[in-house]
Structure 1
Amino acid sequence: MNSVIITIDGKKIKATKGETLVDVAAKNGIYIPTLCYVKDKPCLGTCRVCSVKVNDYMVSSCTVPISDGMKVEVETDKEGADMRKALIEFLFVEGNHNCPSCEKSGRCELQAVGYETNMMVSRFPYRFPVNERDHASDNIWLERDRCIFCQRCVEFIKDKETNQKIFSISKRGSKSRIEIDIELANKMSLEQVAEAAEMCPVGCIIDKNLGFNKAIGKRKFEAQTLRERVLSVNGIIKTTK
Protein backbone atom coordinates (compact mmCIF):
# COMPACT_ATOMS: atom_id res chain seq x y z
CA MET A 1 0.00 0.00 0.00
CA ASN A 2 2.90 2.39 0.70
CA SER A 3 4.79 1.54 -2.48
CA VAL A 4 4.88 4.29 -5.11
CA ILE A 5 6.43 4.80 -8.54
CA ILE A 6 8.21 8.05 -9.36
CA THR A 7 10.26 9.13 -12.35
CA ILE A 8 13.70 10.75 -12.04
CA ASP A 9 15.34 11.91 -15.27
CA GLY A 10 13.10 9.54 -17.21
CA LYS A 11 13.97 6.55 -15.02
CA LYS A 12 11.06 4.85 -13.22
CA ILE A 13 11.86 4.17 -9.58
CA LYS A 14 9.97 2.19 -6.97
CA ALA A 15 10.08 3.68 -3.50
CA THR A 16 8.13 3.99 -0.27
CA LYS A 17 5.59 6.75 0.18
CA GLY A 18 6.86 9.51 2.47
CA GLU A 19 10.59 8.92 1.85
CA THR A 20 12.58 12.07 1.21
CA LEU A 21 13.37 12.71 -2.44
CA VAL A 22 17.10 13.33 -1.91
CA ASP A 23 17.46 9.93 -0.20
CA VAL A 24 15.47 8.06 -2.84
CA ALA A 25 17.60 9.62 -5.57
CA ALA A 26 20.85 8.62 -3.81
CA LYS A 27 19.63 5.05 -3.29
CA ASN A 28 19.16 4.82 -7.04
CA GLY A 29 22.53 6.23 -8.04
CA ILE A 30 21.36 9.80 -8.70
CA TYR A 31 23.42 12.44 -6.89
CA ILE A 32 21.78 15.67 -5.71
CA PRO A 33 24.13 18.14 -3.97
CA THR A 34 23.27 19.20 -0.41
CA LEU A 35 24.87 21.34 2.28
CA CYS A 36 22.36 21.80 5.09
CA TYR A 37 20.97 18.26 4.89
CA VAL A 38 22.30 15.53 7.18
CA LYS A 39 21.06 12.00 6.58
CA ASP A 40 18.76 10.72 9.35
CA LYS A 41 18.43 14.24 10.80
CA PRO A 42 15.40 16.57 10.44
CA CYS A 43 15.39 18.43 7.12
CA LEU A 44 16.31 22.12 7.33
CA GLY A 45 15.88 23.36 3.75
CA THR A 46 18.11 26.37 4.37
CA CYS A 47 20.78 26.15 1.65
CA ARG A 48 18.58 25.27 -1.35
CA VAL A 49 21.47 23.76 -3.30
CA CYS A 50 19.47 20.52 -3.57
CA SER A 51 16.74 22.27 -5.59
CA VAL A 52 15.37 20.17 -8.46
CA LYS A 53 12.34 20.36 -10.70
CA VAL A 54 9.37 18.35 -9.39
CA ASN A 55 6.27 18.33 -11.55
CA ASP A 56 7.61 21.45 -13.31
CA TYR A 57 8.22 23.40 -10.07
CA MET A 58 11.61 24.02 -8.42
CA VAL A 59 11.68 22.64 -4.87
CA SER A 60 14.33 21.64 -2.32
CA SER A 61 14.63 17.87 -2.58
CA CYS A 62 15.61 17.43 1.09
CA THR A 63 12.20 18.66 2.23
CA VAL A 64 9.98 16.91 -0.33
CA PRO A 65 8.32 13.59 0.61
CA ILE A 66 7.77 11.51 -2.50
CA SER A 67 4.31 10.66 -3.81
CA ASP A 68 3.04 8.36 -6.52
CA GLY A 69 3.52 9.63 -10.07
CA MET A 70 5.99 12.34 -9.11
CA LYS A 71 8.10 13.50 -12.05
CA VAL A 72 11.57 14.73 -11.09
CA GLU A 73 14.26 16.33 -13.24
CA VAL A 74 17.81 16.54 -11.94
CA GLU A 75 20.48 16.24 -14.63
CA THR A 76 18.01 16.54 -17.52
CA ASP A 77 16.98 20.01 -16.36
CA LYS A 78 19.93 22.14 -17.49
CA GLU A 79 18.49 25.39 -16.10
CA GLY A 80 18.02 23.74 -12.71
CA ALA A 81 21.59 22.41 -12.74
CA ASP A 82 22.87 25.91 -13.51
CA MET A 83 20.73 27.35 -10.70
CA ARG A 84 22.27 24.91 -8.20
CA LYS A 85 25.71 25.90 -9.42
CA ALA A 86 24.81 29.59 -9.05
CA LEU A 87 23.70 29.01 -5.46
CA ILE A 88 27.09 27.44 -4.69
CA GLU A 89 28.82 30.41 -6.30
CA PHE A 90 26.76 32.79 -4.13
CA LEU A 91 27.99 31.00 -1.00
CA PHE A 92 31.60 31.43 -2.08
CA VAL A 93 31.29 35.16 -2.79
CA GLU A 94 29.27 35.96 0.35
CA GLY A 95 32.10 34.81 2.63
CA ASN A 96 35.88 34.68 2.58
CA HIS A 97 36.79 31.14 1.54
CA ASN A 98 40.55 30.80 1.13
CA CYS A 99 40.64 27.06 0.50
CA PRO A 100 44.45 26.53 0.34
CA SER A 101 44.92 27.84 3.89
CA CYS A 102 41.76 26.38 5.45
CA GLU A 103 42.08 23.54 7.98
CA LYS A 104 39.12 21.79 6.38
CA SER A 105 40.42 21.81 2.81
CA GLY A 106 39.83 18.34 1.40
CA ARG A 107 37.13 17.70 4.00
CA CYS A 108 34.95 20.74 3.28
CA GLU A 109 31.52 19.98 1.83
CA LEU A 110 31.21 23.42 0.20
CA GLN A 111 34.51 22.85 -1.58
CA ALA A 112 33.47 19.31 -2.57
CA VAL A 113 30.07 20.42 -3.88
CA GLY A 114 31.85 23.13 -5.88
CA TYR A 115 33.89 20.40 -7.57
CA GLU A 116 30.77 18.28 -8.19
CA THR A 117 28.97 21.16 -9.90
CA ASN A 118 32.05 21.95 -12.02
CA MET A 119 32.44 25.39 -10.48
CA MET A 120 35.70 27.04 -11.53
CA VAL A 121 35.08 30.66 -10.53
CA SER A 122 31.99 32.57 -9.48
CA ARG A 123 30.10 34.60 -12.05
CA PHE A 124 29.23 37.05 -9.26
CA PRO A 125 31.46 39.75 -7.72
CA TYR A 126 33.11 38.84 -4.42
CA ARG A 127 31.91 40.83 -1.42
CA PHE A 128 34.95 40.29 0.86
CA PRO A 129 32.97 40.95 4.06
CA VAL A 130 34.73 41.90 7.28
CA ASN A 131 33.76 39.35 9.93
CA GLU A 132 34.94 39.26 13.52
CA ARG A 133 36.32 35.93 14.73
CA ASP A 134 35.13 34.58 18.07
CA HIS A 135 37.69 32.73 20.20
CA ALA A 136 36.24 33.38 23.66
CA SER A 137 35.17 29.77 24.17
CA ASP A 138 37.65 27.43 25.84
CA ASN A 139 37.55 24.79 23.11
CA ILE A 140 35.94 26.34 20.01
CA TRP A 141 37.28 28.88 17.56
CA LEU A 142 34.50 30.43 15.49
CA GLU A 143 35.80 31.45 12.05
CA ARG A 144 32.86 33.56 10.86
CA ASP A 145 34.40 34.22 7.42
CA ARG A 146 33.52 30.66 6.44
CA CYS A 147 29.97 30.36 7.80
CA ILE A 148 27.33 29.60 5.13
CA PHE A 149 24.36 29.77 7.56
CA CYS A 150 23.32 26.19 6.95
CA GLN A 151 22.08 26.08 10.59
CA ARG A 152 23.29 22.54 11.21
CA CYS A 153 25.06 23.62 14.40
CA VAL A 154 22.04 25.66 15.51
CA GLU A 155 19.61 22.77 15.19
CA PHE A 156 21.72 19.71 15.98
CA ILE A 157 24.30 20.78 18.60
CA LYS A 158 22.65 21.38 21.97
CA ASP A 159 23.50 21.35 25.65
CA LYS A 160 23.23 17.76 26.91
CA GLU A 161 21.54 18.73 30.19
CA THR A 162 19.12 21.51 29.23
CA ASN A 163 18.73 20.88 25.47
CA GLN A 164 19.42 24.59 24.94
CA LYS A 165 20.94 25.69 21.64
CA ILE A 166 24.67 26.43 21.88
CA PHE A 167 24.81 28.17 18.51
CA SER A 168 22.45 30.76 17.05
CA ILE A 169 22.21 33.30 14.23
CA SER A 170 21.85 36.97 15.07
CA LYS A 171 20.60 39.87 12.95
CA ARG A 172 19.34 39.50 9.38
CA GLY A 173 20.35 39.85 5.76
CA SER A 174 23.94 40.89 5.06
CA LYS A 175 24.45 41.60 8.78
CA SER A 176 23.64 38.02 9.84
CA ARG A 177 26.31 36.22 11.83
CA ILE A 178 26.76 33.00 13.74
CA GLU A 179 26.87 33.32 17.53
CA ILE A 180 28.00 30.97 20.28
CA ASP A 181 26.80 30.81 23.89
CA ILE A 182 30.14 30.87 25.71
CA GLU A 183 28.80 29.48 28.98
CA LEU A 184 27.13 26.51 27.29
CA ALA A 185 30.08 26.00 24.94
CA ASN A 186 32.47 25.73 27.87
CA LYS A 187 30.36 22.88 29.24
CA MET A 188 30.76 20.84 26.05
CA SER A 189 32.78 17.64 26.27
CA LEU A 190 35.72 17.22 23.92
CA GLU A 191 33.66 14.61 22.07
CA GLN A 192 30.83 17.11 21.53
CA VAL A 193 33.29 19.76 20.38
CA ALA A 194 34.61 17.29 17.80
CA GLU A 195 31.04 16.49 16.78
CA ALA A 196 30.27 20.19 16.25
CA ALA A 197 33.41 20.66 14.14
CA GLU A 198 32.51 17.64 12.03
CA MET A 199 28.86 18.70 11.73
CA CYS A 200 29.90 22.03 10.22
CA PRO A 201 30.12 21.56 6.42
CA VAL A 202 32.84 24.21 6.16
CA GLY A 203 35.71 25.35 8.42
CA CYS A 204 33.67 27.70 10.59
CA ILE A 205 33.69 25.67 13.82
CA ILE A 206 37.27 24.78 14.73
CA ASP A 207 38.30 22.53 17.59
CA LYS A 208 40.97 24.52 19.46
CA ASN A 209 42.53 21.28 20.64
CA LEU A 210 43.51 20.55 17.03
CA GLY A 211 43.47 23.84 15.13
CA PHE A 212 46.45 24.20 12.82
CA ASN A 213 48.27 21.30 14.50
CA LYS A 214 46.29 19.09 12.11
CA ALA A 215 45.72 21.62 9.36
CA ILE A 216 44.57 19.10 6.78
CA GLY A 217 43.62 15.92 8.57
CA LYS A 218 42.20 13.19 6.36
CA ARG A 219 41.31 14.66 2.96
CA LYS A 220 38.34 12.32 2.65
CA PHE A 221 36.90 13.92 -0.48
CA GLU A 222 40.11 13.21 -2.38
CA ALA A 223 40.15 9.52 -1.45
CA GLN A 224 36.45 9.36 -2.31
CA THR A 225 34.47 12.21 -3.85
CA LEU A 226 31.40 13.61 -2.14
CA ARG A 227 29.22 12.09 -4.85
CA GLU A 228 30.77 8.66 -4.26
CA ARG A 229 30.44 8.95 -0.48
CA VAL A 230 26.75 9.92 -0.66
CA LEU A 231 25.88 7.15 -3.08
CA SER A 232 27.94 4.46 -1.32
CA VAL A 233 26.23 5.24 1.99
CA ASN A 234 22.94 4.59 0.22
CA GLY A 235 24.02 1.25 -1.22
CA ILE A 236 25.39 2.39 -4.58
CA ILE A 237 29.05 1.34 -4.56
CA LYS A 238 30.22 1.83 -8.13
CA THR A 239 29.47 5.23 -9.61
CA THR A 240 30.38 7.15 -12.71
CA LYS A 241 30.39 10.88 -13.18
Structure 2
Amino acid sequence: MNTPVQTAATFSLDGEDVPFEPGETILQAARRAGRYIPHLCWHPDFHPQGSCRVCTVKVKGRAGSACTLQTAAGEVVESNTDELNAERKMLLQMLFVEGNHFCPSCEKSGNCLLQATAYEMNMEDVLFQEFYPRRPIDASHADVMIDFNRCILCELCVRASHDIDGKEVFAIAGHGIGTHLVVNSMSGLLVDSDMALSDRAASICPVGAILPKRRGFVIPIGVRRYDPHTAADVDTQEAS
Protein backbone atom coordinates (compact mmCIF):
# COMPACT_ATOMS: atom_id res chain seq x y z
CA MET A 1 0.00 0.00 0.00
CA ASN A 2 1.45 3.31 -1.06
CA THR A 3 1.54 6.07 1.54
CA PRO A 4 0.24 9.34 0.09
CA VAL A 5 2.84 12.07 -0.21
CA GLN A 6 1.95 15.04 1.94
CA THR A 7 2.61 18.43 0.40
CA ALA A 8 3.48 21.47 2.48
CA ALA A 9 0.68 23.92 3.13
CA THR A 10 1.11 27.19 1.28
CA PHE A 11 -0.31 30.69 1.11
CA SER A 12 -0.07 33.20 -1.71
CA LEU A 13 2.24 36.20 -1.24
CA ASP A 14 2.02 38.72 -4.06
CA GLY A 15 0.94 35.98 -6.42
CA GLU A 16 3.57 33.38 -5.47
CA ASP A 17 3.02 30.34 -3.27
CA VAL A 18 4.95 30.35 0.01
CA PRO A 19 5.17 27.17 2.12
CA PHE A 20 4.75 27.49 5.86
CA GLU A 21 5.01 25.43 9.00
CA PRO A 22 2.30 25.27 11.69
CA GLY A 23 2.45 28.25 14.02
CA GLU A 24 4.48 30.48 11.73
CA THR A 25 3.55 34.07 11.08
CA ILE A 26 3.39 35.50 7.58
CA LEU A 27 6.70 37.31 8.12
CA GLN A 28 8.48 34.21 9.42
CA ALA A 29 7.31 32.05 6.53
CA ALA A 30 8.14 34.75 3.97
CA ARG A 31 11.69 35.18 5.30
CA ARG A 32 12.31 31.43 5.36
CA ALA A 33 11.23 31.33 1.71
CA GLY A 34 13.56 34.19 0.83
CA ARG A 35 10.76 36.75 0.44
CA TYR A 36 11.33 40.21 1.92
CA ILE A 37 8.67 42.09 3.87
CA PRO A 38 10.00 45.41 5.30
CA HIS A 39 10.10 45.57 9.11
CA LEU A 40 11.75 47.49 11.96
CA CYS A 41 10.52 46.28 15.36
CA TRP A 42 10.53 42.55 14.54
CA HIS A 43 13.49 40.36 15.52
CA PRO A 44 13.74 36.56 15.27
CA ASP A 45 14.84 36.24 18.90
CA PHE A 46 11.76 37.88 20.38
CA HIS A 47 8.00 37.56 20.42
CA PRO A 48 6.48 39.91 17.82
CA GLN A 49 4.37 42.86 18.86
CA GLY A 50 3.64 44.81 15.67
CA SER A 51 4.44 48.26 17.03
CA CYS A 52 6.13 49.88 14.01
CA ARG A 53 3.52 48.79 11.41
CA VAL A 54 6.13 48.84 8.64
CA CYS A 55 5.45 45.16 7.92
CA THR A 56 1.73 45.81 7.31
CA VAL A 57 0.23 43.54 4.66
CA LYS A 58 -3.30 42.96 3.39
CA VAL A 59 -5.16 39.69 3.85
CA LYS A 60 -8.60 39.49 2.28
CA GLY A 61 -8.45 43.25 1.87
CA ARG A 62 -7.81 43.90 5.56
CA ALA A 63 -4.55 45.37 6.87
CA GLY A 64 -2.50 43.69 9.57
CA SER A 65 1.08 43.23 10.77
CA ALA A 66 2.85 40.39 8.98
CA CYS A 67 4.93 39.77 12.12
CA THR A 68 1.83 38.91 14.18
CA LEU A 69 -0.62 37.46 11.64
CA GLN A 70 -0.64 33.66 11.58
CA THR A 71 -0.38 31.85 8.27
CA ALA A 72 -3.32 29.91 6.85
CA ALA A 73 -3.50 27.53 3.91
CA GLY A 74 -4.74 29.13 0.73
CA GLU A 75 -4.69 32.65 2.14
CA VAL A 76 -4.01 35.49 -0.28
CA VAL A 77 -1.54 38.04 1.11
CA GLU A 78 -0.52 41.33 -0.50
CA SER A 79 2.70 43.07 0.52
CA ASN A 80 4.71 44.53 -2.35
CA THR A 81 2.07 46.89 -3.71
CA ASP A 82 2.24 50.59 -4.54
CA GLU A 83 -0.34 51.36 -1.85
CA LEU A 84 1.40 49.48 0.98
CA ASN A 85 4.87 50.72 -0.01
CA ALA A 86 3.57 54.31 -0.03
CA GLU A 87 2.21 53.81 3.48
CA ARG A 88 5.54 52.34 4.59
CA LYS A 89 7.38 55.30 3.12
CA MET A 90 5.11 57.68 5.03
CA LEU A 91 5.73 55.80 8.30
CA LEU A 92 9.48 56.04 7.69
CA GLN A 93 9.24 59.76 6.92
CA MET A 94 7.38 60.27 10.21
CA LEU A 95 10.08 58.40 12.12
CA PHE A 96 12.77 60.58 10.57
CA VAL A 97 11.10 63.86 11.54
CA GLU A 98 10.05 62.71 15.03
CA GLY A 99 13.69 62.20 15.97
CA ASN A 100 17.00 63.74 15.02
CA HIS A 101 18.26 61.32 12.40
CA PHE A 102 21.27 62.87 10.69
CA CYS A 103 22.73 59.87 8.91
CA PRO A 104 26.07 61.37 7.74
CA SER A 105 27.11 62.10 11.35
CA CYS A 106 25.75 58.91 12.90
CA GLU A 107 28.08 56.08 13.92
CA LYS A 108 25.41 53.57 12.83
CA SER A 109 25.28 54.84 9.24
CA GLY A 110 25.61 51.89 6.90
CA ASN A 111 24.56 49.54 9.68
CA CYS A 112 21.18 51.09 10.48
CA LEU A 113 17.96 49.24 9.70
CA LEU A 114 15.93 52.48 9.57
CA GLN A 115 18.31 53.99 7.02
CA ALA A 116 18.45 50.80 4.94
CA THR A 117 14.68 50.40 4.93
CA ALA A 118 14.27 54.02 3.83
CA TYR A 119 16.56 53.29 0.89
CA GLU A 120 14.58 50.13 0.14
CA MET A 121 11.34 52.14 0.04
CA ASN A 122 12.95 54.82 -2.18
CA MET A 123 12.58 57.53 0.45
CA GLU A 124 14.54 60.47 -0.92
CA ASP A 125 13.19 63.23 1.31
CA VAL A 126 10.62 63.89 4.04
CA LEU A 127 7.23 65.49 3.46
CA PHE A 128 6.70 66.70 7.02
CA GLN A 129 8.15 69.50 9.10
CA GLU A 130 11.05 68.44 11.31
CA PHE A 131 10.15 68.26 15.01
CA TYR A 132 13.71 68.67 16.30
CA PRO A 133 12.69 67.32 19.71
CA ARG A 134 14.87 68.17 22.71
CA ARG A 135 15.88 64.73 23.88
CA PRO A 136 18.91 64.08 26.07
CA ILE A 137 22.04 62.07 25.42
CA ASP A 138 22.91 59.83 28.35
CA ALA A 139 26.67 59.28 28.41
CA SER A 140 26.81 58.59 32.15
CA HIS A 141 27.61 54.89 31.83
CA ALA A 142 31.26 53.84 31.53
CA ASP A 143 30.72 51.56 28.53
CA VAL A 144 27.37 52.38 26.88
CA MET A 145 25.70 55.61 25.75
CA ILE A 146 22.14 56.40 24.73
CA ASP A 147 21.16 59.03 22.19
CA PHE A 148 17.43 59.33 22.82
CA ASN A 149 17.18 61.53 19.71
CA ARG A 150 17.56 58.42 17.55
CA CYS A 151 15.16 56.07 19.37
CA ILE A 152 12.36 54.77 17.11
CA LEU A 153 10.43 53.05 19.96
CA CYS A 154 10.87 49.58 18.50
CA GLU A 155 11.12 48.28 22.10
CA LEU A 156 13.79 45.74 21.17
CA CYS A 157 16.03 46.92 24.02
CA VAL A 158 13.06 46.63 26.41
CA ARG A 159 12.36 43.07 25.32
CA ALA A 160 16.04 42.08 25.28
CA SER A 161 16.62 43.41 28.79
CA HIS A 162 13.52 41.57 30.07
CA ASP A 163 13.61 38.34 28.08
CA ILE A 164 17.34 37.65 27.79
CA ASP A 165 19.23 39.77 30.33
CA GLY A 166 16.58 39.48 33.06
CA LYS A 167 17.23 43.03 34.20
CA GLU A 168 14.34 45.34 33.19
CA VAL A 169 16.76 48.20 32.40
CA PHE A 170 14.46 49.89 29.88
CA ALA A 171 10.78 50.76 29.61
CA ILE A 172 8.47 52.85 27.43
CA ALA A 173 6.63 55.77 29.05
CA GLY A 174 4.22 58.48 27.94
CA HIS A 175 1.46 58.59 25.34
CA GLY A 176 1.11 59.74 21.75
CA ILE A 177 3.85 62.08 20.57
CA GLY A 178 5.19 62.11 24.15
CA THR A 179 5.99 58.39 24.13
CA HIS A 180 9.64 57.86 24.98
CA LEU A 181 12.23 55.38 26.20
CA VAL A 182 13.20 55.56 29.88
CA VAL A 183 15.93 53.97 31.97
CA ASN A 184 14.80 52.06 35.04
CA SER A 185 16.94 53.66 37.77
CA MET A 186 16.30 56.10 40.60
CA SER A 187 18.09 58.91 38.75
CA GLY A 188 16.86 57.90 35.30
CA LEU A 189 20.49 57.61 34.21
CA LEU A 190 22.11 54.54 32.74
CA VAL A 191 25.04 54.72 35.18
CA ASP A 192 22.67 53.97 38.06
CA SER A 193 21.15 50.92 36.35
CA ASP A 194 22.62 47.42 36.23
CA MET A 195 23.30 47.70 32.49
CA ALA A 196 26.45 45.95 31.22
CA LEU A 197 28.18 46.14 27.85
CA SER A 198 27.75 42.37 27.51
CA ASP A 199 23.95 42.62 27.82
CA ARG A 200 21.89 41.73 24.75
CA ALA A 201 20.07 45.04 25.24
CA ALA A 202 23.34 46.87 24.60
CA SER A 203 23.68 45.50 21.07
CA ILE A 204 20.10 44.91 19.86
CA CYS A 205 19.26 48.50 18.82
CA PRO A 206 18.60 48.62 15.03
CA VAL A 207 19.47 52.32 14.86
CA GLY A 208 22.07 54.55 16.54
CA ALA A 209 20.28 55.05 19.85
CA ILE A 210 22.31 52.63 22.01
CA LEU A 211 26.00 52.49 21.23
CA PRO A 212 29.13 51.12 22.91
CA LYS A 213 31.73 53.67 23.91
CA ARG A 214 35.30 53.76 22.56
CA ARG A 215 34.44 51.60 19.56
CA GLY A 216 33.38 54.18 17.01
CA PHE A 217 33.98 53.37 13.34
CA VAL A 218 35.63 50.02 14.08
CA ILE A 219 34.02 48.88 10.84
CA PRO A 220 34.89 51.55 8.26
CA ILE A 221 32.20 53.15 6.13
CA GLY A 222 31.99 51.34 2.83
CA VAL A 223 32.14 47.81 4.23
CA ARG A 224 29.32 47.99 6.75
CA ARG A 225 26.28 45.75 6.73
CA TYR A 226 24.11 47.78 4.36
CA ASP A 227 26.87 49.43 2.34
CA PRO A 228 27.27 46.58 -0.19
CA HIS A 229 23.78 45.09 0.31
CA THR A 230 20.18 46.28 0.53
CA ALA A 231 17.91 45.67 3.51
CA ALA A 232 16.11 42.98 1.47
CA ASP A 233 19.39 41.23 0.64
CA VAL A 234 20.56 41.17 4.26
CA ASP A 235 17.20 40.07 5.60
CA THR A 236 16.80 37.11 3.27
CA GLN A 237 20.47 36.08 3.64
CA GLU A 238 20.17 35.99 7.42
CA ALA A 239 16.97 33.95 7.16
CA SER A 240 18.59 31.21 5.08
TM-score (normalizing by structure 2): 0.86
Matches within 5 A, 1:48-197: 48-75=53-80, 77-158=81-162, 163-181=166-184, 182=189, 186-192=193-199, 195-197=200-202
- Residue 183 of structure 1 deviates from its aligned partner by 7.0
Structure 2 SS opposite 1:115: helix
Structure 2 SS opposite 1:34: coil
- Residue 158 of structure 1 deviates from its aligned partner by 3.8
CA contact (8 A) 1:106 1:216 kept: no
Q: 1:94 to 1:17 in 2, by over 3 A?
A: same
CA contact (8 A) 1:17 1:68 kept: no
CA distance in 1, matches of 2:163, 2:55: 30
CA contact (8 A) 1:103 1:215 kept: no
Structure 1 SS opposite 2:57: strand
Kindly provide the CA deviation profile for residues 37-75 of structure 1, in whole angstroms up to 9, marking residues without a partner as x. Answer: 001321121111000111111111001110112110112
% identical equivalent positions: 34
CA distance in 2, matches of 1:2, 1:55: 24
1:233 is aligned to: 238
CA contact (8 A) 2:143 2:196 kept: no
- Residue 26 of structure 1 deviates from its aligned partner by 2.0
CA distance in 2, matches of 1:160, 1:79: 37
2:3 is aligned to: none
After superposing the two structures, state which structure 1 stretch, 223-232 or 112-121, moved more: 223-232
1:23 is aligned to: 28
Structure number having the greater helix percentage: 1
1:208 is aligned to: 213
- For structure 2, list consecutive stretches of 5 or more residues without a partner in the other structure: 1-5
- Residue 186 of structure 1 deviates from its aligned partner by 5.0
Structure of larger gyration radius: 2
Structure 2 SS opposite 1:44: coil
- Residue 35 of structure 1 deviates from its aligned partner by 0.6
CA distance in 2, matches of 1:69, 1:87: 30
Structure 2 SS opposite 1:49: coil
Task: Please give the root-mean-square deviation of Cα atoms over the aligned residues, in Å.
Answer: 2.4
CA contact (8 A) 1:36 1:152 kept: yes
- For structure 1, list consecutive stretches of 5 or more residues without a partner in the other structure: 236-241
Residue among 2, 6, 9 paired with 2:11:
6
